[in-house]
Amino acid sequence: MQPKQILREHVAKIATLTDEEFDNFFSRFELQSFKKGQTIIAAGDSVRREYFVLSGCLKSFYINDDLKMFILQFAMPTWWTSDFNALYSGEKATISVDCITDAEVLSLTNESREALCREIHQAEHFFRWRTNKGYVASQKRLLSMMNNDVKHRYEELMAQYPELYQIVPKQLIAAYLGVSRETLSRLHH
Amino acid sequence: MQPKQILREHVAKIATLTDEEFDNFFSRFELQSFKKGQTIIAAGDSVRREYFVLSGCLKSFYINDDLKMFILQFAMPTWWTSDFNALYSGEKATISVDCITDAEVLSLTNESREALCREIHQAEHFFRWRTNKGYVASQKRLLSMMNNDVKHRYEELMAQYPELYQIVPKQLIAAYLGVSRETLSRLHH
DNA sequence: ATGAAAATGTGATCTACATCACAATGCGCT
DNA sequence: AGCGCATTGTGATGTAGATCACATTTTCAT
């Protein structure tokens, strides 16, 4: 399927845009391809863009002072990712984004998003709902983090995204669950 | 200050509404008063409203199967709270909300919010930004949860909201930090 | 003011998970 | 095909924080 069509169907789930409106909407995006391992946002960068994944798998992550990595999100097709804090506030990135597999994305600058939201009421509606879903998901994950042990969180993740098991090295799954790779490896006993 | 004025100034930080638009906006809210200890949303309820705090302090929380409580948010004046997942999806509440102190709120139904967002583009803009801030804050807290130990998280919280120390029993602070009250109590050694 | 209930402090013990060390296995690259 | 590096498994040991038990202090309603 064409990038334009993928985005169109994704947006149509939430917002109603006329063909002309969607042409305008889509025209602000830039198609980009990345190779496995390539960095899209590095900590310290200025962040100008957010990314809509067409194919492949990205990760957004934080690295602490001890060089330990924590994964915020595995971004699969039709997911959005960026360092949203940096993107909206203008601060430098503290979250990095890179490619777990080869990937194709549609990228949108902060200015373009805000212009679209101004020009097209339904675009603002779309982005409100998108963020809403992210917010609710983030709160659920926070609760799961506080409430459940590693085994439970692992099974939850695998039930929700079984495809991750194939694509993503286990140490990255550990970094998502907030656990050491050794402990994750011992879970099967 | 009047409720209307408090909300007006809060909204003005993000969105530009004409006086007539704001009159319409404000007219959808209902002023409600609650006593300390009173429940606003109980787990299992249908959730029809979200709440803008004028005075006092609410908490939103989850209680697990072992009856252990986890606090998602202390809602202070000008904060918004509800079980947003239930509110948007129509599912029953899994998050409860009650009053840590006597409180005054402005409440808004889901239908009224959506109507306002349809009628007033800038209202949709406002709610997009509000949710956005919540999303970014939630991600930061998730990272802090994974990255930092209890002592660090406690100091972070006290630095950001020193007033909580006076208002909120320590066991509730423990429930926010995701730690037992005993461990929190031992932090001062 | 006073008694009951709630909140807090503190010791002893237990446990999930981290960390370190190293072996085994898998996998991309020329 | 085979070298080299990244990934995974697994044992031994360490530790932050949980849990249980009970004493002490604070708060609140009458």
Q: What is the pLDDT of residues A103-127, one digit of tens each?
A: 999 999 999 999 999 999 999 999 9
Average pLDDT over residues B79-108: 97
Is B130 buried (19+), middle (13-18) or exposed (0-12) by CB count in 10 A? buried
Residues A72-94 pLDDT 10s = 999 999 999 999 999 999 999 99
Closest to B48 (Cα-Cα) out of B97, B8, B88, B106: B88
CB A60 within 8 A of CB A54: no
Any strand C atom closer than 7 Å to B181 CB: yes
- Please report residues of A whose CB lies closer than 8 A to that of B72: 139, 142-143
CA distance A69 to A58: 15
Confidence of residue B97 (pLDDT cuts 50, 70, 90): very high
CA distance B51 to B62: 17
Chain C bases closer than 7 A to any CB of the protein: 7-12, 16-21
Average model confidence (pLDDT) across chain B: 97
Among chain B residues, CA nearest to A87: B136
All domains of chain B in start order, with CATH: 3-120 (2.60.120.10)
Q: Which residue is nearest to nucleotide D6 (CA to C1')?
A: A169
Does the distance separating the beta carbons of B131 and A131 come in below 8 Å?
Answer: yes
**What totals of helices (H) and strands (E) does chain A contain, helices first?**
9, 8
CA atoms within 13 A on the CB side of A188: 4
Average pLDDT over residues A9-33: 98
- pLDDT higher than threshold 90 for residue A1: no
- pLDDT higher than threshold 90 for residue B188: no
CA distance B95 to B81: 11
Distance A114 CA to C5 C1' (A): 55
Percent of chain A whose pLDDT exceeds 70: 100
- pLDDT higher than threshold 80 for residue A189: no
Chain A interface, best mutation among B65, B68, B132, by max A CB count within 10 A? B132
Q: For position A180, what pLDDT does the model report?
A: 98
Among chain A residues, CA nearest to B128: A128
Token digits of residue B72: 């998602």
What distance in Å separates residue B136's CA from the closest CA in chain A? 6
Choose among B124, B128, B136: nearest Cβ to A85: B136
Q: For position A188, what pLDDT does the model report?
A: 84
SS (H, E, C) A80-138: EECCHHHHHHCCECCCEEEECCCEEEEEEEHHHHHHHHHHCHHHHHHHHHHHHHHHHHH
Distance B127 CA to C14 C1' (A): 48
Percent of chain A whose pLDDT exceeds 90: 98
Any strand D atom closer than 7 Å to B37 CB: no
Beta bridge partners of A53: A105
